[in-house]
Chains A and B, each alone.
Chain A
Amino acid sequence: MPETEKTHAELAVKIEAMHKWYGQFHVLKNINLQVRRGERIVICGPSGSGKSTMIRCINRLEEHQQGDIIVDGVELTNDLKNIETIRKEVGMVFQHFNLFPHLTVLENCTLAPIWVRKSPKAEAVATAMEYLERVQIPEQAHKFPGQLSGGQQQRVAIARSLCMNPRIMLFDEPTSALDPEMIKEVLDVMVELAQEGMTMLCVTHEMGFAKTVANRVIFMDEGEIIEENSPDQFFDHPEHERTKLFLSQILSH
């Protein structure tokens, strides 16, 4: 259970009483969440439960209307400077990769370091190659995204985020657009990242991943956080009826 009053140094993300609407539709209801540094959180729930929307609020791809979101000690408001600062520190990986198709893999990785961090090109290239090696596709550096398989593209997307040296990584269903045989190669990269102590918030239905990696599992339904627990507790002794129903549905196949 969340402990009271953490210092900013220990808290990576703090969400308090956050509400969000799309038009008249109440998508996120009274979200409270604290993420400590180095913590790895898996968020699951049925589709339309607001889980993607919630993590997209953390780097302000979506605006919230009530409550506070504090990331890395910076409060998210309409202040563009704050948003820029936070986006530099928060990496994000998307369901559909969203690589830039007109740039090579290497250029995808160096674009933000060059234009946002203002690194010299040689440095940016070196960093990019380092991360491409870590996701095990340095040989694809000069190909275009369209020439890669889905799994490779997602690994490039992870490398692209890492090139900005983020302190927090958000994963928005990173494996749900992939063919089954490619899921593992992406999960492997994510597990490795977790072992290095990266703060991660991950929306996924990969329960194996949740069991091995997560510190906490969060279950969301209809815009609310229903249950929040350690993986063992969550999978073996779910407290809430809806959690049980959900688990029975996704574990049955």
Chain B
Amino acid sequence: MSEAAHAAMARRNPLARLWNDKESRQVIIQIISFVLIFAFFFMMVRNAVINLEAIGKDISLKFLWQPSSYDINQSLIEYSSRSSHFRAMIVGILNTLLVAVFGIALATILGFLLGISRLSKNWIINKMAYVYIEYVRNVPVLLHILLVHGMIINLLPLPRASLTIGDGAFLNNRGFFVPKPDFEPLFLAVAALFLGGVAFAFWFRKYARMVQDQSGKHYPVFWICLAAVAGVPLLAYFVLGAPITWEIPELQGFNYKGGMVLRPEFIALWLALSIYTAAFIGEIVRAGISAVDWGQNEAASALGITRGRTLHLVVIPQALRIIVPPLTSQYLNLTKNSSLAIAIGYMDIVATIGGISLNQTGREMECMALVLALYLVFSLLISAFMNWYNRRIKLVER
């Protein structure tokens, strides 16, 4: 369209002029989209109000303080069926966090082992890791959870025929029963030594750094710290005559009593989430380490830096920058996937407040809103950490 034609059209129609001006067109589009979005939400809310009114429901969180009247078989805090729905929700949150933390720890260890195996020169190890990763990644996580749970329930023996590990731990289809420690006063000394060891380790790292800066002398920092944190307390523990009595679980009737128990639901969820996430972490680690240019290794070798030091000083710091962001999002995925707990009856957030509480009170809106909000908070926290980390480690480029 020529300039003249434009001008002619603009003279004819002020609306067309507005539409053809870049700035005002943006404003118009924004107003229209705002109205549409607003109308959409307004309709939804209006429908909800009418629908709720029709069945005589209101929206209120008061139900949270009514007794929940259901039991939860695994709880980190005191809880009974007389406790409130709110308390049930807290139990659910803690259970989600519990399995998430344990899962993240195990998945990280497994994942790094897998990643390193995928880079191994050893052909068998390499291919075994490959097969593991491909199998696990291509099967839904829910299926892993159900499979592991089913194996625990159906393949492990009954309590009477439990697999005995050591003398005090028993594995059967009701769970994993382990001795419960009962601390004697002398144990305080061991604990104090441990804390002292941790403090010493922190101090010693700084000190060793200082000595190295000043004189060039190298201490075997890792081994000394390990000795301080683990060695000395362990020694003290035996010297003081092992001041922990163990409450060993015993078979009473159809099940074990006493000790501590990891329930099949927890074990299944924990293992399955770790197994699944580890496969993804393994790929991330492999990709991260192989993304570090081989020239970096060569340059370090040419300077006479040994293989181990090269890893520690050159490769790992660079690989971590690549690994950590996707790693955190795997952690987030694991946490979100823990919501599948409901399939095997592990009492997490979804199973407590979004499941039984919801069904008992009929407060779908409030319960689901709470569940969604809780997961959003987890996600926001993790992505806030990720952004902070990314900013901190970003390589400075021209």
Contact = CB atoms under 8 A, between A and B. Distances in A.
Given A102-B318, A112-B304, A161-B303, A61 B217 contact: no
B301 interface: yes
A61 B301 contact: yes
A147 B300 CA distance: 21
Interface in B172-215: 212-215
Given A100-B314, A118-B216, A164-B304, 17 more contacts: A59-B302, A88-B304, A91-B302, A92-B302, A98-B299, A99-B299, A100-B299, A102-B318, A120-B215, A121-B213, A143-B396, A144-B397, A147-B397, A157-B299, A161-B302, A161-B303, A164-B303
Contacts of B306: 84
Contacts, number: 89
Interface string A17-60: 00000000000000000000000000000000000000000010
A157 to B, nearest CB: 8
A148 B398 CA distance: 7
B20 interface: no
Contacts of B212: 114, 120-121
Interface residues of B, number: 29
For chain A, give the interface size range: 35 or more
Interface stretch (B88-96, B115-123, B290-298, B379-387): B290-298
A122 interface: yes
B216 A146 contact: no
Contacts of B215: 120
Given A102-B318, A115-B313, A118-B217, A147 B302 contact: no
The 10 closest A-B pairs by CB, nearest first: A98-B299, A121-B213, A112-B303, A87-B304, A92-B302, A98-B295, A146-B397, A144-B396, A88-B304, A118-B216
Given A88-B304, A98-B295, A121 B214 contact: yes
B137 interface: no
Contact of B295 (A90, A96, A114, A116): A96
Interface of A: 59, 61, 84, 87-88, 90-92, 94, 96, 98-102, 111-112, 114-123, 143-144, 146-148, 157, 160-161, 164
Given A94-B298, A94-B299, A116 B395 contact: no
A164 B302 CA distance: 10
B390 to A, nearest CB: 14
B279 to A, nearest CB: 28
A92 B298 CA distance: 10
B2 to A, nearest CB: 46
A253 B317 CA distance: 44
